[in-house]
Amino acid sequence: MREEKERPYYAQAIPVAETPRPRQNPPSWDKTNVIGKREPRIDAYERVSGSAVYPSDTILPGMLYGAILRSPHPHAKILSVDTREAEKVAGVRAVITGDTPGCGLDWPYQQGVKTKLFDSVCRHEGEEIAAVAAETPYQAWDAVRAIKVNYEVLPFVSDERKALDSAAPAIHPSGNRVGEPQVYERGDVERGFAEADVVLEESYRTESELHTPMELHGCAAKWDGDRLTVWESTQGVYAVQAEVAEVLGLPLAHVRVIGHYMGGGFGSKLQAGKYTIIAALLAKKTARPVKLFLSREETYLCVGNRPPSNMKLKAGVKKDGTLTALEFTCLGTGGAYPAGGTSLVDWLVRDLYVCPNVRSKMTDVFINAGPARPFRAPGHPQGSWALEQMLDALSEAIRMDPVELRLKNIPAFSQARQGNPAYTTTGLRECLEEGARAFGWKEAKSRAAEAKKKGHLRRGVGMGSCLWLVGGGGPPSTVIVKLFSDGSVNLNMGASDIGTGTKTVMAMVVSEELGVPLGKIEIENADTGTTQYATPSGGSKTVPTESPAVRAAAVEVKRQTLEMAGKELNAEAADLILIDGQVVSKNDPSVKTKIADLADLKRRGVLLGVGYRGPNPEGKVVNPFAAQFCEVEVNTRTGEVKLLRFLSANDSGRVMNRLTFDNQVFGGITMGIGLAMTEVRILDGKQTGKMVNRNWHDYKLPTALDFPLKIESLPIDREDSAANTTGAKGLGEPVTIPTAGVIANAVYHATGVRVTTTPIHPMRLCRLLSERGKEDKR
Ligand code: MOS
């Protein structure tokens, strides 16, 4: 029996003493030639022309297509599976179930719950029952439909608020609780409330969201003897390799995972899926390569979500803005399996604002729905929805500007971590002050207050701030830089570029150190067979993790190059610099040579530098910070909310590439708009328990029409030299954390109505406005 495994989530930092490190850390850049500029993506042409081969584009000779039979019921026992008709369908080459020899595998990635790859109980709609490989995808789906299953349909529970009712069916033998509630406490919360001038309490809810990456989840799998190659759409090829080797009992060296491009994951592709294993099993059985990509409908049911949160927050504040106590509870669910239903939802309450007395209790339950997966800043946008609205309400109650209230409570160290480590840098003050100034916060606030008095089009402004838990990165990471004899460079790195521009940033680091233009830098990445070890791209840690390793490798190549050139030029290596493909003396510019003319390099063919990510500073933590501001116009007759403008001020350390930096800001805000305004997974709780909006028509993603008319990215561009050798912190997640709460605050400012449940759609807002209208008349 295999041990149950914890999913690779964010990289667990390895102990400092065990970290291979650069011989010597290079000093921080005092001025840069390339870093910080606006550089278009080095693979932009490939991406937009369609010539980039994504895993879902993979075509292999002799390839078959896989498809999976999934439970139509949210809760059912499988009594029998009859595959005889399916096997007769034209083009079918294999049909597998849990009873097929070699396919009765354990699925070890659901902590505390024993389950199989094909389990005899389906605990959510879409759970895997059988799979088919056929010559065409259509034949595969015909065969899936021909499989006959006898179900014992069981009662279901699809609402986490009902999961602990005595009438609710038990989803696992131990019941519907995912372990004991998680409790955190510091200080004396009761005393804190007693000391407060104002105490407010409110309930909040955020709905479940689906990741919805452009590229679907799936892979192509091919065996060569007992060696397996998998082309997978993933954020981390090494994570997938480890899981596939584990489940199939193969040596790591016999599993090669390749994912040169990938079309988005947002946390839902940090791990292998059952689909990965199923593709490998079908390929083994047929001795043919098998491609298995899910449909959009399947991804909505089976490969993750941002779980719903039901939160209560009580807060005490003194008239001068001192927070005296925060008490938070959350009921959440990761679906039918332990999947972190409340994971990190309370982190901002614990750590964002200075408060001596904090208590939180989080209860995680099972429901008959697909398991959650990490979703861009897991837990944080949910907690932020509650905390930022509460801060807004507190500031109104004590008549203090919301920006002022936050400025009053900026932490210098992490309150929630053991030993209260200091932050390497916190730019929260700058985010708030510079953000408010650039947005014109004070003016916009009074303008909106004036306009509020007349008509049905009301203006409002809202703001909020955040930090993000990870964002500092850390070891391990290894990178190899090769300088060829013509002066061109190859960068070999295991990390995936999940669409954020990682490759471009890394090429810029190489260019900065070696003076080689971006066009002469080739990047080889995301292949366990040929590229170096990297943890999955996620947690906003890819740039702070990989860029110092890239820099270390480039610096090592530079050292060798200058030493070599020193001999040929009869100069001291220390007096030479690398620029525009040349080695030039700092003292005498006439002493120079092209890299391509170095005779020794021609003989050697290549110079090679290995770079490691050194350890993070001991006893400190690295976190990015942000503040966002927005202005809305609300039509109080229709409940429509128009986002007029948005500003995001981000302290993510040094800005590596201003263009991709801004792209992240725009993308993060868009995703936050989705949480705030449009996105909700709808499960039919009454009759079927099925998800009723599992497609792009009914699941409403924000589109260009929902985007603010004006949006501004304001980087607080200060290198964090204590954090690592490039001074960058993470960005991809803090850009989406406060957005939804900021919008809710602006809607409140415009209308006096607080929408505490996502999404703020027109019907909900109209109902709240009319309820308030009745109250006013009383
Ligand atoms: Mo992220 S949720 O670390 O991809």
What's the pLDDT band for 109 if we cut at 50, 70, 90? confident
Q: Which residue is associated with the tokens 């290596």?
A: 573
Nearest to 449 by CA among 241, 173, 751, 244: 751
Q: Is the CB of 236 under 6 A from ligand 1?
A: no
Average pLDDT over residues 682-692: 97
Average pLDDT over residues 73-87: 98
Q: Is the CB of 474 under 6 A from ligand 1?
A: no
Q: How would you classify the pairing of strands 592-594 and 582-585?
A: antiparallel
Is-contact 551 611, C-beta < 8 A?
yes
State the Cα–Cα distance between residues 395 and 412, nearest whole angstrom. 22
Nearest to 416 by CA among 495, 340, 357: 357
66, 231, 295 from 53: Cα distances, Å: 20, 11, 19
Average pLDDT over residues 21-45: 91
pLDDT at 22 over 80: no
What's the pLDDT band for 111 if we cut at 50, 70, 90? confident
Decide: residue 624, CB within 10 A, 0-12 exposed, 13-18 middle, 19+ buried: buried
Q: Which residue's CA lies nearest to atom 4 of ligand 1?
A: 267
Whether pTM exceeds 0.75? yes
pLDDT at 465 over 90: yes
Predicted local confidence at residue 17, as pLDDT: 58
Mean pLDDT of all residues belonging to the chain: 95
Lowest mean pLDDT among 146-160, 272-286, 451-465, 738-752: 451-465
What's the pLDDT band for 11 if we cut at 50, 70, 90? very low
Q: Is the CB of 376 under 6 A from ligand 1?
A: yes
pLDDT at 430 over 50: yes
Q: What confidence tens digit (pLDDT) does each residue in 512-545 have?
A: 999 999 999 999 999 999 999 999 999 999 999 9
Predicted local confidence at residue 4, as pLDDT: 47
Average pLDDT over residues 576-602: 95
State the Cα–Cα distance between residues 1 and 115, nearest whole angstrom. 12
pLDDT at 20 over 70: no
Q: What confidence tens digit (pLDDT) does each residue in 244-257 have?
A: 999 999 999 999 99
- Strand (E) or helix (H) holding 641: strand 640-651
Predicted local confidence at residue 10, as pLDDT: 53
- DSSP code of residue 678: I
Share of the chain above pLDDT 90, in %: 93
Q: Is the CB of 213 under 6 A from ligand 1?
A: no
Predicted local confidence at residue 451, as pLDDT: 73
Average pLDDT over residues 634-661: 97
Q: Is the CB of 266 under 6 A from ligand 1?
A: yes
Predicted local confidence at residue 476, as pLDDT: 92
Q: Is the CB of 499 under 6 A from ligand 1?
A: no
User: What is the 340 CA–ligand 1 centroid distance (Å)?
Assistant: 13
pLDDT at 14 over 60: no
pLDDT at 2 over 50: no
Average pLDDT over residues 321-347: 97
State the Cα–Cα distance between residues 743 and 755, nearest whole angstrom. 10
Predicted local confidence at residue 390, as pLDDT: 99
pLDDT at 8 over 50: no
Query: To test ligand 1's pocket by mutation, which of 733, 735, 736, 737 has the most ligand atoms within 8 angstroms of CB?
Result: 733
- Provide the token pair at 518: 């971006």
What's the pLDDT band for 774 if we cut at 50, 70, 90? confident
Predicted local confidence at residue 452, as pLDDT: 67
Q: Omega before 759 cis (within 30°)? A: yes
State the Cα–Cα distance between residues 376 and 626, nearest whole angstrom. 15
| Bridge partner residues of 634 (DSSP) | 458, 641
User: What is the 212 CA–ligand 1 centroid distance (Å)?
Assistant: 13
Q: Is the CB of 8 under 6 A from ligand 1?
A: no
Average pLDDT over residues 42-53: 95
Is-contact 221 229, C-beta < 8 A?
yes
